[in-house]
A and B are shown apart, each in its own frame.
Chain A
Amino acid sequence: MLSTFGSLNTALTTLHAMQKSIQTSSHNVANASTPGYSRQQATLVSGTPYTVPSTNRYNTFGQVGTGVNVEKMQRFRSAFLDSQIRNETLREKGWEVRQDALQQIEVSFNEPSDTGINSRLSAFWASWNNLATTPDSAATRGTVVESAADLTAALRDTYRQLEDFQTELDDQVSIQVESINDLAHRIADLNSTIRDVQGLGQQPNDLRDERDQLLTELAGYINIDAHEGETGSVMVSLGGKLLVMDHEVSELAVEPDAGNSTLNRVIWADTGAVVQVAGVPLEGGLSSVAADRLGGQLGGTLIARDLIIPDKMAILDDMANTLISSVNNLHQSSFGLDGSTGWDFFTGTGARDIDVSSDIKADHNRIAASASAAGVPGDGSVALEIARLENAALLNSGTTTITDYYRANIAKLGQEAQQANVMFINQELLVQHLENRQEEIAGVSLDEETVNLLQYQRTYQAAARVMTVVDEMLDKVINGMGLVGR
């Protein structure tokens, strides 16, 4: 025999389930444009069917439904896509930093232009050529000093800009390590909350969204491994050592690396050991092959700081040193307009401090254009020899002129920047593509939610109508029946 109020209860479960569904839809709509939000849905299951008790089972009909229940709040998201997104984000961020760095270096070199090192080198050689023609002209001597000062200033400025940029990147390393620690702490905090909620048999969907976001953000800095344990906690490891374990964090720190001009290296705060990522220790002495295995902002920053910039500094140093030694070599043994000899034309030990010697600046007549004291003032043969250094193969073991060396390296810089651009754009597209695929699964479709709401609303209305029907039946039974004896 069925209970009189059975259907009322069935309708009530419907009302509850629809309320919950509408609540979920409303939450979805509210978060339609929240980054990292995953669509949720109340998973509905029919209530446990009920076998009507009977003394004679054969004569009764089968089981009776008991309405609908919300089994769980389902979250739509692909963990596989998330891990792919993290891998590609790691590369994307790494190339982004390298691209930015190379573009900034391009700005420092300022080529092709009329004010770059190339033009100034040309002007410098031209001034010696002019001096060879008029060795006793004060104006020409002035031009030699001026053009040389222009050239050395360009070398020094470019070098200093690179140094400043390197320092900036070094600061970035500390800031990024701070960010990594911060993210690790937030992930650890979420770990404990998620574990607690899950322990209650509930689904901490929104908290998981937040944690997934943080993990992706963390993967943008450095190559991490993330594994979810059975309790719902995520373990994050960095080069085989745990960065986050449950609610605990092993922090990273930086310290000056004596082997790398006291630039920062990244260490574990507790043991002081240098952090290794993909087998690459995060300290000085990066090799370009190993460095390609690094990724993320931190990896990219280290590559820019320890590989790209020193490479460009070395170019400037090579040029400066070659200028200093080759010009001085000729200049020292030659004679100025005042008959003096033995002066250095350039001073300095590299691009950082190359300059026209203050002795020459003080007295332009000391510029040596003549091969002998007797040759003064008409002999400009040494000036001509110095001018001819323009075409002398002085670099790359005597195979390349200074100008060609510079040009080839500017071309190389361009190629590197081009490669970084292409790699970054490709990675960006790849990440976008993966994010779109995740969006297909996890994204909120307003049209879909509208249709669902429509359905939930109508179901709610129908359930309410069922109640009215039962109520009317009961009204008949209670108020309309048994008038006999009244």
Chain B
Amino acid sequence: MRITQQLLNQSALNGMQTNLRRVKTLQEQAVTSKKVNRPEDGPFAVEQTLGFRSRIKASETARQNIAMSQDWLNATDKALGDISDLLTRTRSLALKGASDTMGPDERQALATETEGIIEQAIAIGNTRHGDHYLFAGFQVDTQPFSRNPATGAITSTTYSGDNGQIVREVEPGTDMVINTPGDPLFTDVFNTVISLRDALQASPFEASDVASVAADLETQLDNVLDVQAATGTKVRRLEASSDRMEASEVGLRELLSESEDADMAEVASQLNQQQFVYQTALAVNGQILRTSLLDYLR
């Protein structure tokens, strides 16, 4: 093999170019801390990376929405708890009123208290969560319950909401109805309490009427407690699915990091090694390329 200076120069240049190319790749990894900076660096890894990112984003959004649904259900739970407390109180009033030992004045006092309870119950029916009425169906911007007549003793209520069921996604593909339309649940409660008040004020007074209303109150309380229990179950279900998503999100983040993050310690050590190789090449080339026969001839 005949070796010329040009050949030596060329192979020195090629060698150093190859070397520098590797240094550049490692440097890029060190600077970006990513081992995959463009699709060609790892087509499969990029496909995975993009998938993980989409899934993490979707999971984040889902968890945000779950948190909002949880807030809504918690507010519902609280309102239903208030209603059931009211109903319990109303029932004890009814039991008191049903006894024959009471005089008309005392019954009137009970009736007045009941009137106050009706107003409180309507207020609970109009509970807002943020800007939205909890018990208005789809009509979240409209106050669902109004009293009739506007002033004086309440004889009935009007429901301005609808029976729309607000559906949210709990987990990908799984829906949950998160709202409770106020009618008929609340309307029945109102009417029962109104009929208690009327029974207390009735003349002639029939204790048996009050007693039968007390029985109705029992039914209403059961209804409210059923709905509250269902709400509680939903909250717990959301909690569980949010926890599960959070756990899988952590897993996804780990996978994402595995597929796209560079191992910095390894990059640093490889970079060191490559630099050493480069320096050696420079030193060797510097020695060889400088010499020629002319150095040794007179």
Enumerate chain A interface residues (CB-CB to B < 8 A).
Answer: 32-33, 102-103, 106-107, 109, 111-112, 118-119, 121-123, 125-126, 129-130, 132-134, 136, 370, 374-381, 384, 387-388, 390-391, 403-404, 406-408, 410-415, 417-418, 421, 432, 435-436, 439-441, 443-448, 450-451, 454
Q: Which of B55-63, B118-126, B214-222, B276-284 contacts A (4 or more CB under 8 A)?
A: B55-63
Question: Are A133 and B68 also in contact (CB < 8 A) when A379-B164, A410-B46, A439-B4 are?
Answer: yes
Interface positions of B from 31 to 54, Cβ below 8 Å from A: 36, 38-44, 46-47, 49-51, 53-54
Q: Are A374 and B164 in contact (CB under 8 A)?
A: yes
Q: Which residues of B contact A375 (CB under 8 A)?
A: 138, 164
Set B5, B6, B51, B167: member contacting A384, Cβ < 8 A: B167
Given A417-B39, A436-B11, A439-B4, A130 and B293 touching (CB < 8 A)?
no
Looking at A106, A370, A412, the one whose CB has the most chain B CB atoms below 10 A away is A106
Given A378-B132, A413-B39, 10 more A-B residue pairs with CB atoms under 8 Å apart are A119-B57, A126-B61, A130-B65, A378-B137, A378-B138, A378-B140, A421-B40, A432-B10, A443-B2, A444-B6
Decide if A450 touches B168 in the complex (CB within 8 Å).
no
CA of A417 to CA of B5, assembled, Å:
36
In the assembly, what is the distance between CA of A381 and CA of B5, in Å? 77
A28 and B20 CA atoms in complex are apart in Å by: 33
Q: How far is the CB of B168 from chain A (nearest CB, A)?
A: 6
Find B7's partner among A107, A132, A443 (CB 8 Å cutoff): A443
Quick one: which of B3, B10, B61, B179 contacts A130, CB cutoff 8 A?
A: B61
B69 interface hit (Cβ, 8 Å): yes
A23 to chain B: closest CB distance in Å?
A: 19
A376 lies within 8 A of B54 (CB): no
Report chain A residues within 8 Å CB of B132: 136, 378
CA distance A406 to B53 in the complex (A): 13
- Does B226 count as interface, using CB distance less than 8 angstroms? no
- Which residue of chain B has the shortest Cβ distance to A102 in the bound complex? B40
Q: Would you give the shortest CB distance from A32 to chain B, in whole angstroms?
A: 7
Q: Tell me the smallest distance from the CB of B268 to a CB of chain A, in Å.
A: 23
Residues of B contacting A413 in the complex (Cβ-Cβ under 8 angstroms): 39, 43
Residues of chain B contacted by A421 (CB below 8 angstroms): 40
| Pair B46/A129 contact, Cβ less than 8 Å | no
Cβ of B50 and Cβ of A112 under 8 Å apart?
yes
Q: Contact: B46 with A414, CB < 8 Å? A: yes
Q: How far is the CA of A370 from the CA of B68 in the complex (A)?
A: 19
Q: Is A414 in contact with B40, judged by CB distance below 8 angstroms?
A: yes
Residues of B within 8 A of A450 (CB): 292-294, 297
Within the complex, the shortest CB–CB distance from B58 to chain A, in Å, comes to 7
**Distance between Cα atoms of A414 and B45 in the complex (Å):** 10
A421: nearest residue on chain B (CB-CB)? Answer: B40
Is B293's CB under 8 angstroms from A377's CB?
no
Distance of A7 Cα from B20 Cα, bound (Å): 63
Closest to B2 in A: A440
Q: Please give, as numbers and ranges, the residues of chain A lying within 8 Å of B166 by CB-CB distance.
A: 378-380
Q: Tally inter-chain residue pairs, CB-CB below 8 A.
A: 181
CA A381 – CA B178 in complex, angstroms?
Answer: 12
Complex interface: chain A residues within 8 A of B40 (CB): 102-103, 106, 414-415, 417-418, 421
Contact with A along B130-171 (1 / 0, CB 8 A): 001000111111000000000000000000001010111100
Q: Which 3 pairs between the two chains have the least Cβ-Cβ distance?
A: A414-B39, A414-B43, A378-B138
Candidates A103, A388, A410, A439; contact of B47 at CB < 8 Å: A410
The answer to whether B6 touches A412, judged by C-beta atoms less than 8 angstroms apart, is no
Distance in angstroms from A245 CB to nearest chain B CB is 34
Roughly how many angstroms separate A32 CA and B41 CA in the complex, as a whole number? 40
Say yes or no: B50 contacts A451, CB within 8 Å. Answer: no
- Give every chain B residue within 8 A of A112 (Cβ-Cβ): 36, 46, 49-50, 53, 260
Cα separation A354 to B108 with both chains bound (whole Å): 71
B144 → chain A closest CB, angstroms: 11
Chain B residue, CB-CB nearest to A444: B4
27 interchain pairs (CB within 8 A)?
A33-B6, A103-B38, A103-B40, A109-B39, A112-B46, A136-B132, A374-B138, A376-B138, A379-B166, A388-B169, A390-B58, A407-B47, A410-B50, A413-B39, A413-B43, A414-B39, A414-B41, A414-B46, A414-B47, A421-B40, A443-B2, A443-B6, A444-B4, A444-B6, A446-B4, A447-B292, A450-B297
Are A129 and B6 in touch, CB under 8 angstroms?
A: no
Beta-carbon nearest neighbor of B175 in chain A? A384
CB distance from B294 to the nearest CB of A (A): 6
In the complex, whether B265 has a CB less than 8 A from a CB of chain A is: no
A384-B169 contact, Cβ under 8 Å, with A407-B51, A446-B292: yes
Which residues on A sit within 8 Å (CB–CB) of B140? 136, 377-378
Query: A109-B39, A119-B53, A407-B51 known; A445 and B4 CB under 8 Å?
Result: yes
Answer whether A370 and B58 are a contact pair too, CB < 8 Å, given A118-B50, A384-B168, A447-B292. no
**Chain A residues with CB under 8 A of B294:** 446, 450
